[in-house]
Structure 1
Amino acid sequence: MPKLPPRRLLAVAAALALISGQADAKGGHSHPKTSLDGAEQACPLGSFHCAPRPYNYAMCRPNALLEFYDPSLGKDPSLRETSPTQVHAQHVDSSNQSVYHLSGDVKLQRADQQLQADTIDYNDSTTDYDARGNVRYQEAGQLLAGTHMRGNTDASRGIADDVRYQMLDSRGNGVARQGQMLDALHTRYSAATYSTCDVGHHLWEFRAKSITIDKDTGVGVARNATMRLGNVPFLYLPYFTFPTDDRRKSGFLYPTIGNTSRSGFEISTPYYLNLAPNYDATLDPRIYSDRGAMLAGEFRYLIPGSNGQLNLEYVPHDHGDNDGLANTKGDSRYLVNFSDRTALWQGWQFVGSYNHASDSSYLYDYGNALSHAAVYTLASNAAIMGGGKWWNASFGGTIYQNTNPFVNANGLPYKQLPYANFSMNLPLSRWLEFGMDTSAAAFRKAGFVEGQREDIYPYLAADFGTSAWFVRPKVAYRYTAYQLSGGYQDYGYGGLLGSGGVTPFDQKSPSRALPVVSLDSGLVFDRSTSLFGDNYTQTLEPRLYYLYVPYRNQDNLPLFDTNLMSFDYWQLFSTNQFSGADRQMDANNLTAALTTRLLDDSGVERVSASIGQIHYFSPQKVLGTDWTGSAYVAQLDVQLSDRWRLNSSYQWSPNTRLTDMAALELQRRLGTDGILNFSYRYRRGLLEQYSASAVYPISERWRLVGSWTYSVVDRETIDALAGVEYDSCCVSLRLVDRNYVNQSYYGFGPAPTGSNINRRDNAIMFEVVFKGLGSSGGQIDPLLRRDILGYQ
């Protein structure tokens, strides 16, 4: 708070900064638009990540201010030093040259400050003051009322009796038997209350023997405090801290209370440590009724050139059932997650992560609860990475840990110890570029063939065209070589013969070399059209893509990191349907595709429809098919308004005359904070599922949330979630229950046997948010964001 000039009558107002350090208010809005007016922006349809809903104070009473609030008062505290003081009083007694006696509706006003009282005595020599009778004080950031105030302006000290206060920016308000300003930055209240609810309508509050406000740090401290819902006490806190502004602070976060099938009831009481501006920590002791105590923690740091995070979970003695899996009863168990990114020199950095669990059942028991998807592999990586304008490179290693208790480690990916990658994209002219993708790795996996692999993939690409047409030829050469480790014959890599049965392959050092030639071309036509009374630009975009890759027998090449990818629309224009470098498909193909779009007057794509097929001029030997054409692939995306969206895709095979894949996704906006999703997914021989999810606003205060996924193949609901959200002026409540098949684990192997086995798991969680104080842990929000597209 700026120091007021001495010997000014309005200087008595300095003592009225008894309200938790809000005197330095910036601007004069009693409800800042950032979080208090409820005007959040709806998440765009189709967004996978939506911004969190800000605290909505729109349900608070619009005039929930202390009765003497004057909206016409100035809002800029910086004008105090240069503004004159206006004094209004019915009677002024200045018989004593040092002491002024003002009485009768006294009002002193300067800039954003205003002090009112029945009588005020002010000593011009000592700057002592005494205000009595219906004392009211207002400034840009606060309101305060009392029966009697006295103090000294120069020393920034003061005492007020029977205080009522209100913070205009953070909504904090309450009453106190007495308030004492220790100096300009520190205030202490005695027998005080605090809440962010409407004045006089406290749904919750805490009552404390004393409350100390530190304006310098933005932290309030309550001692011997009782948290109350209405008039019912439910939590006693001998020492409690809370924020008075947006700065970080140390203190207890609100507890989490929940229940899961695997671990029983859970109680979590995290404590946040604001250690320094560039690093902090959170200690999170937990109790699981079926398993025992856990100590979890998080440490984050940000130092010059480096940032990272360490998460730990430690269970000293697990007394839970093992369900017939690896016997962990009585063992200590843990989980470590560490990540770091450190700058080394210009253009180069170190990136690393270490993730490890004590046993393969840990995440099954502790991690796959309400808000966590099943994780059956933990990867750890360390690499040095660099890049420039036209190149990037990396060198490092990756290892994996199995965290699926129902299978062994055979299903893990190969370790890469070490690996190196180098890519470049060098423009040679306006229309020609030279590029290269190169990788080398040593693959390690016990019980499987091991070895090194080098993959070199240089290319020369051109780009001709205008906005109406394009032609993009590309010539590439791919060379892949292996050096297998000793004992490779034990895995079927010995004694194979080449074509004609006379030429033996080199089984220890096999290789593959072949050219890859492609020509991509297309046209773009457009015209003006109208639909439902709106004007659009319609495009028609035919496209031809030719690909030639000669056949090479690759039976002698191991499969280190390669899999056949799912066929989709973008595979129509891909040079390889395999991920990884161990397999390269042969091709003599021509893709024909057609796309049409509707663009509105601002250029936003409202409708997009595409269809295409690959015609094979020769059989695909690597893929093992002799079809003359691929499946027809079609896509349709429609969003004619901001209220609904439709995405769909379909694949039909003329060879089998069967549907290979179908997907439909419909999304509808309900009001400003509601959403409805429906989807259907089908892939022949693999899955057929229906899914629905919704956020349905019942009223301004109540919302229902839910999601449901049904498997036609399994003939059962595999995931169901139902919950309710309540929002009021100063508190939000959420209750969510999830019941699901643990399919991500059971799908990898035979279901385990044991007396406590159930393919269905259940988790329930209750969360309370006291607006302006914090929440009960935030475990529900990640789950709803994952399961309900567009959730805010």
Structure 2
Amino acid sequence: MRKPKAKIKLLTLSISSILYSFYSYGEASNVIFNDINQHQQNNPDFFLQKKETNNENISDNQCLINNNVPDNGYKISAKQANITQLNNQKKQGSLVTYKGDVVVKSNTMIIKGDKARYNSLTQNAIVKGNVKASDSEVNVIAKQISANLKSKTYQSDQNEYTGRCVPMRGDAQKIIKSNVKGTEFYKMRNGTLTTCPSDDDSWKLVATKITRENDTPFADLYNTTFRVHNVPIFYLPWMRIPVTNQRVSGFLMPSVSIGSNGFGWTTPFYFNLAPNYDFILTPTIYSYRGAFFQGYFSYLTDGWGSGKLYLEYMPQDKLYKDKKNLFGYKLNHNYLSADNHWSFSANYSKVNKGDYFINNNLSLLGSDGTYYLTQTATSKYSDTNWNLSATITKYQSIQNSDINQLPINNYSLLPQIEFNFYDPNYLPNQLNYKLHADATNFKSEFSNAPSAIRLNFNPTIYLPLSTAPWWKLNLSTTAYSSYYQQDIKNFSPTDPEPGEQNLEKNASRVVPSFNISGSLYLDSNSAPIQGYSQSFEPRFQYLYTMNVDQSSIWNSYNYTKYGGYDSVKKSLGYYDLFSDRSYAGSDYYAPENRLSLGGTYRLFNPLQDEVFNFSLGQIFYNSSQTLYTIPENATCQRPGCSDPTSYQTKFSTTALQTNVKITDNLKFDNSTQYSFKLHQLESFNSTLRYSFDDDLYFVAPSYTYISRDFLYNTNPNNYNLGLYSKDPNSKTNYGISQTGITIGGQLSNSINLNATYFYDLNYNLLAQTSLNLNYSSSCYTLGFTLLRRLNDSWWMTDTDETISQADDERYENVYMINFTILSLPGMKNPTIGTTSSETPLYNYVDPFNLS
């Protein structure tokens, strides 16, 4: 069975290496000193061997891991040696005294000192004065080392040690090796351990005794105190830690925090369950919230992939008394066969209560969407020209009971089977053919929602008339054919719209569609700026989709309040203008008779770097297509808007996208949609980014505007957009108008900063502000986090009166100071997702896509 890749490298106390080296000293030195006894009379210069340079010294910075090197005994060299015969009635021996640059060496270790003494009668050897010992894993500086070669025991006094292959060091009053009935034991008295560099004692473990039995992968620490800047933080009478790279159960390094949840203490424990799976239990105690437990299980199967399981549990929230026994978990599993044909993936998240995340900023689970957790698994087989997949997807609502009935279209797929086929040589005369087919069983967690079994069969034939580098022309035709078997016996909308009872138990449709698209690429070495070059890329698309009655199917067009199994209306950004669908999903195929026109202009500097692009496009409808479905209280900005027919238009919003590289450090990005029919701005999103010092720091102010009519048109079942008021100045008629700034950078090699500030101009109040400051040293990190943002419940208000009550209770305030010990490389506490308290409402992403 294959072993999994190491997820964690545990804390290693490498005194094992020097202890092993001293063991070799006792084992091998008999050969040398017996040799001394035999040759000392005839060859007194034996002790004055010339120093060898090929293996005399092991570099302090060199990491040598080779415990299988044969031991050929020890050699002793010095500037001078004096031999004194020892007279004994039963035994004859000698006392050898070495002085000046004494070196005792073997193939595995070296001991140096100012002087040494060996008693061949008792087989005691003592090295004193500036004693240094090195082996493949550890360096030791000691006052003296005493060893008995017969009993294979030793003692070193007043030691300082450093790891050769791991960043750790410490000191000890004594290191002792003993032998009890053939079993060897090692002890360290009054020892310390830290991963900080030699000039930094930020933290350390202090123990009165450290013991290790020979060949075991761990050491036991007794009366252990954890100290930060020599201040005792906690005490454990006993703890066990690994001393080799072999994985063993034991405590990992702790961390502490102080913040809005109070004082937090985290002490992970690692369970080495088997070579191919392990588990980490991470209990944390918060003074304000109580106990919070996290578990992380990772595994590797024999031929069935690998995965990880994250769990969390809170028995009782001291701050919110009604929250008890909160439990949640997330499973990820992935598999890919050796021949790359079969694959399997699973992503399953679940919590035991619908309001699990409300007032719970400790959870690391997060949500895949605003109102639900996703539970999905997919198995797929892929070949050269086709693939077949089966997917099961469920959603768990994580809302409070007041809005539990709104996301009626969050349908589970139990299951969805998809087939895709593509073969450019399937048809003659350069015709290309592709096919998409699926069979889906839709189920909703809401009892009054319809459910269905849907069969789709969508063949497409397309002909590439040209694929030349400077122009392209393609023709395609698709037949969207579907069959539905709908269960509508329990369907009873709380506020039915006219025609909602037109749903049929059995419904079918075939929607033909034709598409012709083309583009040009025109470039020139002359440009408005001397030395620059430019290009222009016009493109067009004509799309015709037959108008077919689809009112018998539960879709998001005929049932705008909350209809559709998997369909939703698309937005109309520049690149969306050339899509072959107005609705995502397969429940509704909008009738199309439209022409999309657009183009992109690019400007290149003399180095051929793109410094400017500008894209502009619009859709022209050739039928009585109605783009807007706006209620009577829409906020149109011109006379006559009270007439609903005034919203019928034969052209879409005009979409604009631009990126500008003003200088190497200053960039500008903007996307805009404007309705000439309604004489109003639909959406506007703009960011200016300035970076300096080789992009180490940046400042990015931004502004976002989305009109309320545009929001309603693209997503009419959004809970915050279904609120209307007869008062045109009512705040419930607002859309989104927010400005903000993000700054960040690496202030030094150790300090990083990120801060955001977003202000809502409609409501004239702060939407969110955050500050993250992090200091990292070689042995610990210290972080400061401050977050203040509007609660999710603030956006769910339904009256102007409650909206105006923007007091502190409507804000979530999170602050935290976190101190984490850094141990050996790779040792980290694994997490899944991000804490909800650190997830901003508006994430900053570098939006610039200049090539």
> TM-score, structure 2 length as denominator?
0.72
Q: Equivalents in 2 of 1:760, 1:622: separation in Å?
A: 38
Q: Which one is further off, 692-701 or 678-687?
A: 692-701
**Cα distance in 2 between the residues matched to 1:505 and 1:260:** 56
> Which of 353, 359, 366 is 1:365 aligned to?
359
1:575 Cα deviation after fit: 0.9
Matched residue, 1:47: none
The aligned counterpart of 1:55 is: none
1:212 deviates by 4.7
Kindly report which structure 2 residues correspond to 1:46-85, keeping only aligned pairs within 5 A, or say none.
none
Aligned to 1:105: 101
Asked whether the 8 Å contact 1:227–1:236 carries over to 2, the reply is yes
Deviation, 1:149, is 1.2
Kindly state the Cα deviation for residue 474 of structure 1 after the two structures are TM-superposed: 1.7
Give 2:771's aligned residue: 722
Question: In the alignment, is residue 568 of structure 1 matched against residue 562 of structure 2?
Answer: no
- How far apart, CA to CA, are the structure 2 residues paired with 1:22 and 1:707? 58
Q: How does 1:401-412 map to 2 (within 5 A)?
A: 401-405=396-400, 406-412=402-408
- Aligned residue type for 1:143: N
CA distance in 2, matches of 1:197, 1:488: 66
Q: Does 1:524 align with 2:529?
A: no
Q: Aligned partner of 1:297: which letter? A: G
Question: Structure 1 residue aligned with 2:670, among 636, 640, 648?
Answer: 648
- Comparing 641-650 with 274-283, which one deviates more in the overlay? 641-650
Q: Deviations over 1:626-672 (max 9, x none)?
A: 43332222222345877554432122222223222211234444547
**Given residue 575 of structure 1, which amino acid in structure 2 is its aligned partner?**
D
What is the root-mean-square deviation in Å for CA atoms of aligned residues? Answer: 4.7
User: How is 1:372-387 mapped onto 2 (pairs within 5 angstroms)?
Assistant: 376-387=371-382
Structure 1 SS opposite 2:572: coil
Q: How does 1:609-624 map to 2 (within 5 A)?
A: 609-621=614-626
What number of residue pairs does the alignment pair up?
718
Question: Quick one: which amino acid aligns to residue 733 of structure 1?
Answer: L
1:694 to 743, 750, 767: 743
Task: Give the whole-Å Cα distance in 2 for the aligned partners of 1:77 and 1:488.
Answer: 71
1:197-208 equivalent positions in 2, closer than 5 A? 197-208=196-207
CA deviation digits over 1:465-489, x for unaligned, max 9? Answer: 1322222222111112222225378
Residues 353/136 of structure 1: CA separation in 2 closer, same or farther (3 Å cut): closer
**Quick check: 377-386 or 356-365, which moved more?**
377-386
Per-residue deviation, residues 106-132 of structure 1 (Å, max 9, x unmatched): 246788965421113468999974322
Matched residue of 1:411: which SS? Answer: coil
Kept in 2, the 8 Å contact 1:361–1:404? The answer is: yes
- Kindly tell me: are residues 750 and 154 of structure 1, through their superposed partners in 2, closer, same or farther at Cα, counting changes over 3 Å? farther
Kept after mapping to 1: 8 A contact 2:184/2:214:
yes
Instruction: Decide whether aligned partners of structure 1 residues 236 and 266 sit closer, same or farther in structure 2, where only a CA change above 3 A counts.
Output: closer
Q: State how far apart, in whole Å, the 2-side matches of 1:757 and 1:15 are.
A: 55
Q: Does 1:766 align with 2:817?
A: yes
638-647 or 349-358, larger mean C-alpha shift: 638-647
Q: Shift of residue 214 of structure 1?
A: 8.8
Confirm whether residue 18 of structure 1 aligns to residue 10 of structure 2: no
Residues 428-485 of structure 1 show CA distances to partners (whole Å, capped at 9, x for unaligned) of 2796432122222232331123322222221123333132222222211111222222
| 1:511 alignment counterpart | 508
Tell me the distance in 1 between the aligned counterparts of 2:216 and 2:370: 41
Counterpart residue type for residue 704 of structure 2: R
Which amino acid in structure 2 is aligned with residue 523 of structure 1? L
State the alpha-carbon separation in 1 of the partners of residues 266 and 335 from structure 2.
Answer: 33
Please tell me whether Structure 1 or Structure 2 has the larger radius of gyration of its CA atoms. 2
Residue number among 420, 423, 430 corresponding to 2:420 in the alignment: 423
Separation in 2 of the partners of 1:384 and 1:127? 70
* Residue of structure 2 aligned with 1:163, choices 118, 139, 159: 159
d(CA) in 1 for partners of 2:496, 2:346: 35
Report matched runs for 1:489-508 at 5 Å.
507-508=504-505
SS at match of 1:170: coil
Q: Is the 8 A contact 1:548 1:586 kept in 2?
A: yes
AA in 2 matched with 1:637: N
Which amino acid in the other structure matches residue 504 of structure 2?
Q
Give the aligned residue type for 2:549.
N
Q: Does 1:338 align with 2:331?
A: yes
2:658 match = 636
Deviation string, structure 1 residues 4-43 (Cα, Å, up to 9, x no partner): xxxxxxxxxx9994389999xxxxxxxxxxxxxxxxxxxx
> Is 1:395 paired with 2:395?
no
The corresponding residue for 1:60 is none
**Structure 2 CA distance for aligned equivalents of residues 456 and 220 of structure 1:** 65
Contact 2:482–2:510 at 8 Å: present in 1 too?
Answer: yes
Distance verdict in 2 for CA 1:421–1:93, change over 3 Å: same
Deviation at 1:522, TM superposition (A): 1.5
Counterpart AA for 1:208: A
Q: What is the CA-CA distance between 1:298 and the residue it aligns to? A: 2.8
In structure 2, the partner of 1:11 is: none
Does structure 2 retain, via aligned residues, the 8 Å contact 1:15–1:153? Answer: no
The alpha-carbon distance between structure 1 residues 604 and 458, as it changes in their structure 2 partners (threshold 3 A), is farther
Q: Residues 636 and 247 (structure 1 numbering): CA distance in 2 closer, same or farther, change over 3 Å?
A: farther
What residue number does 1:414 align with? 411
The percentage of aligned residue pairs carrying the same residue is: 23
Q: Which residue pairs with 1:467 in the alignment?
A: 469
Which deviates further from its counterpart, 428-437 or 160-169?
Answer: 428-437
> Which amino acid in 2 is paired with 1:398?
T
TM normalised by structure 1 equals 0.77
Note the C-alpha offset of 1:259.
Answer: 7.1
Aligned counterpart for 2:703 among listed residues 665, 669, 680: 680
Matched position secondary structure for 1:761: strand
Partner letter of residue 519 of structure 1?
I
State the SS of the aligned residue for 2:809.
coil
Residue number in structure 2 paired with 1:90: 79
Q: Where do 5+ consecutive residues of structure 1 fail to align? A: 1-13, 24-68, 323-327, 498-503
**Structure 2 spans left out of the alignment, 5+ residues:** 1-13, 24-56, 86-92, 556-564, 630-646, 709-734, 847-851
| 1:662 equivalent in alignment to 2:662 | no
Whether the 8 Å contact between 2:448 and 2:490 is mirrored in structure 1 is no
Instruction: Look up the match of 1:736.
Output: 785
Q: Counterpart of 1:365 in 2: which secondary structure?
A: coil
Distance 1:109-1:174 versus aligned 2 partners, 3 A rule: same
Match in the other structure for 1:297: 295
* AA aligned opposite 1:647: D
Q: Point out which structure has higher relative CO (alpha carbons under 8 A, 6+ apart).
A: 1
In the alignment, the residues of structure 2 paired with residue 547 and residue 214 of structure 1 have an alpha-carbon distance, to the nearest angstrom, of: 78
Inter-partner Cα distance in structure 2 for 1:320 and 1:649: 44
Corresponding residue for 2:762? Answer: 713
Counterpart residue identity of residue 89, structure 1: A
Q: What CA deviation, in whole Å up to 9, does each residue of 1:483-506 have, x standing for no partner?
A: 222537866999979xxxxxx988
* Shift in alpha-carbon separation, 1:394–1:93, aligned structure 2, 3 A: same
Aligned positions of 1:203-352 closer than 5 A: 203-212=202-211, 221-241=220-240, 250-255=249-254, 267-287=265-285, 292-304=290-302, 305-317=304-316, 321=320, 328=322, 332-341=325-334, 347-348=341-342, 351-352=345-346
Q: In 2, distance between residues paired with 1:168 and 1:425?
A: 58
User: Secondary structure in 1 aligned to 2:360?
Assistant: helix
Worse-superposed segment, 287-296 or 359-368: 287-296
* SS at structure 1 position matched to 2:357: helix
